[in-house]
Structure 1
Amino acid sequence: MNKTKLTILLTFATLLTIVGLHAKFSKEPSNAVPLPSVEAPKKTKLPVSPLKPEVLQKILDTQNVNSGIEYVEKSWQQQYQDYLQAKLPSNQIFDAQQMSRILDKLHQQSGKKSALIYAIPTAKHLELMLVAPGITPIHKRIPAGKRDELIKLVSKFRTAIVNPNLPRDEYLSSGKQIYELVIAPLEETLQRQKINNLIFCLGGGLRTVPLAAINDGKRFLIEKYSLGIIPAFNLLDFNRGNIAQTQILAMGASQFQTQEPLPAVPLELSSIVNNEWKGKSLLNQAFTPANLKLQRAIYPFGIVHLATHAELSPDSVEHSYIQFWDKKVRLDELKTLNLNKPPVQLLVLSACRTALGNPQAELGFAGLAVQSGASSTIASLWSVDDAGTLALMSQFYQQLKDTSIKSEALRQTQIAMIKQQVSLKNNPAIRGSSNLPTNIPNLNSRELSHPYYWAGFTLIGNPW
C-alpha cells in the first residue's frame, strides 16, 4: 500500500473540507470502469455529469456493486474537477473492499462504526449502494425514488423546515417519505452491523437535503446516527488529529457595508474562545484574509471559526463567497487562505446560505472541505436565525470538548436542541447571555427545538 499526502483545493459546497489526499493504493482495480469523454464546460455553466444512469444501471444489473461504486467515484471526481476548472492530483480510486478496510481501521481508532451510503437518483428509480466494515457491498434499487419526484419531495421538505410557522406535520410527513426511500431499505443491515455513523455520498438533487431531520415516524435520523456528507470517498482526508487538544481561531463581523448585520457575532466569538477552549477571537476590522493567514503563521490553529455571511451561489463557483471585513473571498479563491498549511482540522461557517435545489450550489456545498483545504467543514444549508446560531454554536463547542469526534459533537448538539435542553437564557457558555442586547431575540428551548434552528448545519468531509 502506497500512502501519499496530497493537498486538494476544491469547493465551497462540499463547504471546506479536505486538504491532504491521503492513503492511496499503488494500482487501480483491474475491473476499472472507464469514464465517457466529456467536453470541458465553461466556468459559468454547470459541468455535465460524466455519470450516465444507463451505464450505472447496466453495471449494477450484473450484480457488480464494486464496479458500480468505482464508476460513481470516477464520475463525480471528474464533475468536481470540471466545476473547479482544476485537475485533482489523484487518479486512483478505492474499490469497495479497500473502503471497507479503511472504515474498519477508523472504527478501531475512533470507536465509531461508519457506513458509506451512495444515493443516486435517476429518471426511473433511486440507486442505493452501501459499504460497511466486514461485509460485501449492498445494492438496492428503489422504483419509487424517481429523480423528478424525489427532488420535488426534497424541496417540499426543506421549504417546510425553513418556515417555523408552518404546521409540524408538513416537515414530518415529507421527511418520513424521504427516510423510507433512502434509509429504510438499508436499515436492517445498518442495525445488524451496529452502525452508528453514516457518511453520505449523494447524487444531484439530494446534496442539500437536511438529512438530520428526516424521520422514521418516531425519531429523527440524527437521533439514531451521527451524519456527514462527502463529495467522493477518494477525496476524503482520513487523518485523525486530537481536536480537543488544538486551539480555535474565531473570527467574524457583526456589521457590514452592504449586508444585514449579525448582532450576535460578538457573543458567538466570546462564547467559543473561553475557559474550556484556548484560542484567539478577532472581530470586525481585524477580520481580514491577511490577518487570518498571519495568525495561523504565528500559531497553527486547528479549528477556524468564521462567523460571517457566506453564500453558495446558483451561478458559477466564482459567485460563491465568504464575506470578510474588507472583501469577499470567492469559492475559487479559498486556497489562498492557506488553510492547508498546516491542514485545519475543522472549518466552521456559521452563517452560510446555499441555494435550494440548485445543482451548481449543491456541488459547491458538497465540495467545501476539498476546496478550502480543511479536513472537515461545518456549514449551514440556509441562513439560520442569528440567535439560533449563537445557541447552537456555543453548545457544539462544549460537546466537541467532551467527545473529540466532530460528527458526534454535532449530533449531541442537535439532540440537545430537539430535547429542549438548549436556550440562550442562563447559558453558561454564553457570556452575558442573561443580558442579551435587545436586537438579539432571547429564544427559549421550545423555539430552538424546531429543525429550522438545527437541521441545516451539516458536517462535510472527515467525520472523525
Structure 2
Amino acid sequence: MISFRYLFKYLLLGILGLSIALIQPSFLLATGNKDAQLHQAELLNQKGQRQLDQGQATEALETWQQATKLYQRLKDTEGIAGSLINQNLALQALGLNFRACNVLLKALKFNASICSTSADTSFDSTKRLLNAEIDKLNPLPVHLLGLQNLGNVLRRNGKLSSSEIVLKKTLSLAQHLPNFDISIILLSLGNTEKSMFQQAQDKYYWVEEPIFQKEVVNLIREKALESLEIYQRINNISGISKEIRLKAQLQRLNLLLNFDKWLTAESNLGSKQLATIQSQINQQIRPLVEVILKNSSVFSELPANQSVYTKLNFANSLNLIPNEQLQSLALEYAQSALKTAKSTNDQRLMSNAFGTLGKLEKQTQRKQADLEQAMTLAQSIQAWDIAYDWQHELGDLYRKQGKYQQALEAYSAAINNLTQVRDNLASNVDLQFSFYEKVEPVYREYMQLLLSSPNPNLELVIQTNQQLQIAELENFLRCGKLDLVPLNNLQNLPRNTATIHIIDLGSSIEVIVQSPDRSLHYNSIDANLIRSHVDNLLDILQSPKLFSRNRSLIISSYQKLYSLLIAPIKVYLPSSGTLVFALDTSFQSLPMGLLNDGKDYLIKQYSVAETLGSKIRPPLSLSQNQFIALIAGLSKKSPSFNDINVPKGLKPLPKVVTEVTDVKKQTNSSKVLLDENFTTLQFQEELSKNNFPIVHISTHGQFSSNSEQTLLLAYDKAINILEFNSLLKGKTDTDTNAIELLVLSACQTAKGNKRSTLGIAGVAAQAGAQSVIASLWLVDEDSTAVLMQEFYKGLKNGLTKAEALRHAQLSLSSNPQYTHPYFWAGFVLVGGWL
C-alpha cells in the first residue's frame, strides 16, 4: 500500500535517503555536481521537517525555500512541487493561510484566482474551474499530496465549498491508484464537513426566519452525520498510521460533544429524529474516550508541535464532559501539552497551551497567571487572533473579582486585537464560523461593563457598538474592512441633527442620544418592558394581511415604544430636523417614523434616517446635474421567479411600468431597463459604461438575516447580495463614479427577520451607495408609484433625501385613500440623509 505517511517522508527526506554530512549550498553550486545538489536539496527537506516538528516554522520555511531553489536549478519538476508543498505546511503553521494557498497553486500549476475567489463567485463557476484544473493533472502521488493540502488551506481560508470539491475529487483520484492509502484525504474531508457543521451552527443563531431556520437545522444534522461517518470510516481502515487514527478519533469525539451540546440547547425543536440521534450520540462518547485513553502513548510519539495540539484538543473535549475525573484528566493533558510546548520554545505553541490551561483551571490565582502568560506570549509575536481570546477570558475573570479597571483594560485590548484581525475575519474560519460564540460576546460584555460605571463613558459605548455592528456586517457579507466613517467624525452637519443609538444588552435596552450640540445623554430600560411590544409589532408589520390590520393596534404599540424609548430623551432632541437612528438587531425591521407620541407620528416633526452602527459613507447631497438615473424594473413573471431562493407565491407587478415611466420623467438623461431588457448582463454593462448617480430598481426583493436569501430579481435570475458586488465592479472604484442614491421600491422583509437594516446596509455596502431607500414590506403598487413621484419631486426642489422621503410619506398619509401605514410607512432611508 502506498501510504501518505510514506509519501510525506519521500518528499521531505528525499528519494535516496542517504545519511551524508550537510554540505553548504554555496559549495554545491560552485562544484556544479548535479548529484551533490540533489543530495543537498533532500537534506534541506529533512532539516525543514525537523524544524517544523520542533515548532520552528519560520526556519522551516527558509530551509524549504532553499530546497526549492536547488530543485529549480536542477529543473526537477517533482522536487519543485514537493518543496513548494512543504513551504505551504510552514506557512499554515505560521497562520499565513492565504500565502500558503498561493504557494500550493504554484506547486500544482493551477489558476491563480482559486485562492482569491470571492464570496460573490457562484458555486457552479467555482466547481467548473476547480474540476478543469484538477482534470489537467497527471495524478502522481505528489499531486495528490498537493491537492489534499489545497483542500486543507481552502478550508482554513473559509472556502468550504471549494475545499469539499477539491477533497472529493482527490479522494476519487486516489481510489483509482492501486494500493493507495486514502486515510489522510478522508481525514481532511471529514474536517471540512465538520467546518461546514460549525458554519451551519453559527448561521442558525444568525438566521431568524422560521422557514430558513428549518433548512439550517437540516444542514447541521446532515453535515454532522457526514463528518462522523467519515471519521468512523477512517477508524475502520486496517493498517493506517497511529497518528491518523488518533486525529480522526479526536475530531470525532469533539464533534460528538459539540453536536450533543447543540442538540441539548435546541431541544425545544421537538424533532423525534433529532432526539433519536442525540440518544445514539450519547452512547458513543464514553466508549470513544476509553479507546483514546487506552492508546494514549500515541500522543507522545507525535512530533512536538502535533503532540501539543492533539493533547490540547483532547483536553478541551474532556472538559466538555460533566465528570470530575475526566475534567481533572483534561488538566493533566493540558499540563503535558505545556511541558512539550516549552521544549520547543515556540511562542505560539506555548501561548495556546498556557491559554487552554488557564481556561480549564479552577483555582483563580493559577487561572489568572496562566491566562496572563498566554496573553504575553501571544502579544510578543503579534498573534492577535489568539491574544484577543486570552484577554477576553482575563476581562471576564477580573470582572468577577471586582477589578473594574483591569477588566476594562482587558476587554479594550481584546477588542483592539479583534480589530487587528478584522481584515481577515472573512477568511479566518475559526472566527467566521463562531461569530456569535466568540466575537459578539466580547463587544456586548464590554459595553455592559462600561455602563456599570456611575459615570459611563458614553462615547466609548457608541464606538464599541459601531465596531460590533460593522464587524457583523462584514461577516454577513464575508468581506474585508468597509470604508465607513463614524457619524461623530463628520463635519459641517446641519445643526438640527440628533443621533439616537438603541443598544440591546440582553437584560436592558440602552438609549444614547447625541444632541445637536454633540453632548451625550442616556437612558436605560428594562428589556422585559419592551420586547413584547417589539415582537407584537413585527408580527403585525410582517403579516401578509398588514393592510387589513386595525391601524389603532399599530399606533397603540408604537405609542408604548415611544413612551419607553423617546419620551425620556425628548428634552435632548431638536424641535425639528433630522433624527438618525443607529439600531440594534431587535429594532432593525421597525420603521422608526411610526413612533407615536399619542398625538402624531414621529415623521410629522422629524425626517428620519437609519445607519448601521452609526457609521456611514460620508453623506453628500445630490446636485441638479446628478439627476441621471439607471431605472430597472420587472413588471411580469420571468425565469427568475423559479429560483430556489425566491419566496414562493410572488405575483407580477404590472404597475412597475407606471413607476418606471414617472421616475424617468423626474430625472435627466436616464436609461430604462424594463422586463426582458433587465438582465444581469445588461444591468452590469450599463453601470460599467455610464455614470449613474441614481440607480432605481423596481422589482421583487427580499431582506433576510441569511445573506444567500437577501436578493433582488432581474428578468433572467435572482441576484443575491454576495453577487451584487460583482455586478457593480468598476462602478464603486472611484468617488466620482459612485452611486449617490439607490432606490429599491418593491422589496419585503422575510417573515421573522429582525435585521432588515443589516440587509439594506449590506446592499448599500456592496453597491458602494451613499444612501439606500428601500421598502420593508411589499407595498401597494399604486401608492408606491405616487410616493416615488412625490419623493423625486422633493429632491428636484432641493430637499435632502430624508426630507424628500418625509414629505412624500406625509403626502400619502394625508390622502384618505392611503392613510393606513401599510401604504407609506414601509419605506426607510439607510445611510446618508443629505
TM-score (norm 1): 0.78
Residues 161 and 171 in structure 1, CA contact (< 8 A), matched pair in contact too: no
**2:678 is equivalent to residue 287 of structure 1:** yes
Residues 157 and 171 in structure 1, CA contact (< 8 A), matched pair in contact too: yes
Per-residue deviation, 1:52: 4.8
Q: Separation in 1 of the partners of 2:766 and 2:740?
A: 14
**2:820 is equivalent to residue 417 of structure 1:** no
Task: Find the counterpart in structure 1 of residue 493 from structure 2.
Answer: 106
**Letter paired with 1:463:** W
Residues 608 and 829 in structure 2, CA contact (< 8 A), matched pair in contact too: yes
Would the alpha carbon gap of residues 233 and 277 (structure 1) be closer, same or farther in structure 2, given more than 3 Å must change?
same
Q: Separation in 1 of the partners of 2:680 and 2:538?
A: 35
Q: Deviation per CA, 1:290-335, whole angstroms, max 9, x where unpaired?
A: 2223223443111010111111235x21222111111111111111
Which residue of 300, 303, 306 corresponds with 2:697? 306
Per-residue deviation, 1:407: 0.7
Would the alpha carbon gap of residues 124 and 365 (structure 1) be closer, same or farther in structure 2, given more than 3 Å must change?
same
DSSP-derived class of the 1:164 partner = helix
Residues 576 and 605 in structure 2, CA contact (< 8 A), matched pair in contact too: no
Q: Percent identity?
A: 28
Per-residue deviation, 1:413: 0.3
Task: Find the counterpart in structure 2 of residue 448 from structure 1.
Answer: 818
Task: Find the counterpart in structure 1 of residue 776 from structure 2.
Answer: 381
**2:586 is equivalent to residue 205 of structure 1:** yes
Q: Separation in 2 of the partners of 1:394 and 1:413?
A: 8
**Letter paired with 2:732:** N
Per-residue deviation, 1:137: 1.4
**2:550 is equivalent to residue 170 of structure 1:** no
DSSP-derived class of the 2:785 partner = helix
Q: Separation in 2 of the partners of 1:190 and 1:145?
A: 26
Q: Deviation per CA, 1:377-416, whole angstroms, max 9, x where unpaired?
A: 1111111122221121122111111134111100000111
DSSP-derived class of the 1:69 partner = helix
Which residue of 454, 458, 465 corresponds with 1:72? 465
DSSP-derived class of the 2:746 partner = strand
Matches of residues 45-84 of structure 1 in structure 2 within 5 Å? 49-50=440-441, 52-62=443-453, 63-84=456-477
Would the alpha carbon gap of residues 45 and 78 (structure 1) be closer, same or farther in structure 2, given more than 3 Å must change?
closer
Matches of residues 320-359 of structure 1 in structure 2 within 5 Å? 320-338=710-728, 339-341=731-733, 342-359=737-754
**Letter paired with 1:208:** S
Would the alpha carbon gap of residues 35 and 82 (structure 1) be closer, same or farther in structure 2, given more than 3 Å must change?
farther
**Letter paired with 1:333:** E
Q: Separation in 1 of the partners of 2:452 and 2:579?
A: 25
Q: Which runs of 5+ in 2 are unaligned?
A: 1-118, 121-206, 208-407, 419-424, 642-649
Per-residue deviation, 1:448: 1.4
TM-score (norm 2): 0.45
DSSP-derived class of the 2:518 partner = coil
Per-residue deviation, 1:232: 2.2
Residues 469 and 613 in structure 2, CA contact (< 8 A), matched pair in contact too: yes
Residues 160 and 171 in structure 1, CA contact (< 8 A), matched pair in contact too: no
The root-mean-square deviation of aligned C-alpha atoms, in Å, is 3.0
Would the alpha carbon gap of residues 364 and 393 (structure 1) be closer, same or farther in structure 2, given more than 3 Å must change?
same
Of stretches 44-53 and 120-129 in structure 1, the one that deviates more from structure 2 is 44-53
Q: Separation in 2 of the partners of 1:80 and 1:35?
A: 19
Would the alpha carbon gap of residues 333 and 243 (structure 1) be closer, same or farther in structure 2, given more than 3 Å must change?
farther
Q: Separation in 2 of the partners of 1:159 and 1:284?
A: 27
Would the alpha carbon gap of residues 82 and 395 (structure 1) be closer, same or farther in structure 2, given more than 3 Å must change?
same
Q: Separation in 1 of the partners of 2:637 and 2:761?
A: 27
Residues 144 and 181 in structure 1, CA contact (< 8 A), matched pair in contact too: no
Would the alpha carbon gap of residues 216 and 162 (structure 1) be closer, same or farther in structure 2, given more than 3 Å must change?
farther
Per-residue deviation, 1:133: 3.6
Would the alpha carbon gap of residues 137 and 195 (structure 1) be closer, same or farther in structure 2, given more than 3 Å must change?
farther
Residues 123 and 148 in structure 1, CA contact (< 8 A), matched pair in contact too: no
**Letter paired with 1:81:** E
Per-residue deviation, 1:157: 5.3
Q: Separation in 1 of the partners of 2:790 and 2:485?
A: 38
Q: Which runs of 5+ in 1 are unaligned?
A: 1-8, 14-29, 421-445
Q: Separation in 1 of the partners of 2:500 and 2:435?
A: 30
Task: Find the counterpart in structure 2 of residue 40 from structure 1.
Answer: 431
Task: Find the counterpart in structure 1 of residue 38 from structure 2.
Answer: none
Q: Separation in 1 of the partners of 2:788 and 2:438?
A: 35
DSSP-derived class of the 1:186 partner = helix
Q: Separation in 2 of the partners of 1:165 and 1:285?
A: 34
Task: Find the counterpart in structure 2 of residue 181 from structure 1.
Answer: 564
Structure with the higher fraction of residues in strand conformation: 1
Q: Separation in 1 of the partners of 2:668 and 2:541?
A: 34
Q: Separation in 1 of the partners of 2:584 and 2:527?
A: 16
DSSP-derived class of the 2:823 partner = coil
DSSP-derived class of the 2:548 partner = coil
Would the alpha carbon gap of residues 154 and 367 (structure 1) be closer, same or farther in structure 2, given more than 3 Å must change?
farther
Would the alpha carbon gap of residues 346 and 118 (structure 1) be closer, same or farther in structure 2, given more than 3 Å must change?
same
Q: Separation in 1 of the partners of 2:632 and 2:569?
A: 41
Which residue of 216, 238, 241 corresponds with 2:597? 216
Task: Find the counterpart in structure 1 of residue 637 from structure 2.
Answer: 256
Q: Separation in 1 of the partners of 2:544 and 2:599?
A: 17
Q: Separation in 2 of the partners of 1:163 and 1:239?
A: 33
Which residue of 625, 647, 655 corresponds with 1:245? 625
DSSP-derived class of the 1:106 partner = coil
Would the alpha carbon gap of residues 409 and 226 (structure 1) be closer, same or farther in structure 2, given more than 3 Å must change?
same
Q: Separation in 2 of the partners of 1:319 and 1:46?
A: 23
Would the alpha carbon gap of residues 361 and 198 (structure 1) be closer, same or farther in structure 2, given more than 3 Å must change?
closer
Which residue of 769, 786, 805 corresponds with 1:391? 786
**Letter paired with 2:662:** S
Task: Find the counterpart in structure 1 of residue 500 from structure 2.
Answer: 117
Q: Separation in 2 of the partners of 1:57 and 1:462?
A: 29
Q: Deviation per CA, 1:10-55, whole angstroms, max 9, x where unpaired?
A: 9xx9xxxxxxxxxxxxxxxx99934556942449999963465443
Q: Separation in 2 of the partners of 1:370 and 1:105?
A: 24
Would the alpha carbon gap of residues 309 and 275 (structure 1) be closer, same or farther in structure 2, given more than 3 Å must change?
closer
DSSP-derived class of the 1:187 partner = helix
Q: Deviation per CA, 1:223-281, whole angstroms, max 9, x where unpaired?
A: 111111111233x1114143432111111111123342110011111111116644122
DSSP-derived class of the 2:657 partner = helix
Per-residue deviation, 1:343: 0.9
Task: Find the counterpart in structure 1 of residue 827 from structure 2.
Answer: 457
**Letter paired with 2:535:** K
Residues 697 and 743 in structure 2, CA contact (< 8 A), matched pair in contact too: yes
Residues 631 and 660 in structure 2, CA contact (< 8 A), matched pair in contact too: yes
**2:476 is equivalent to residue 86 of structure 1:** no
**Letter paired with 1:70:** Q
Structure with the higher fraction of residues in helix conformation: 2
**Letter paired with 1:351:** A
Residues 711 and 719 in structure 2, CA contact (< 8 A), matched pair in contact too: yes
Would the alpha carbon gap of residues 225 and 162 (structure 1) be closer, same or farther in structure 2, given more than 3 Å must change?
farther
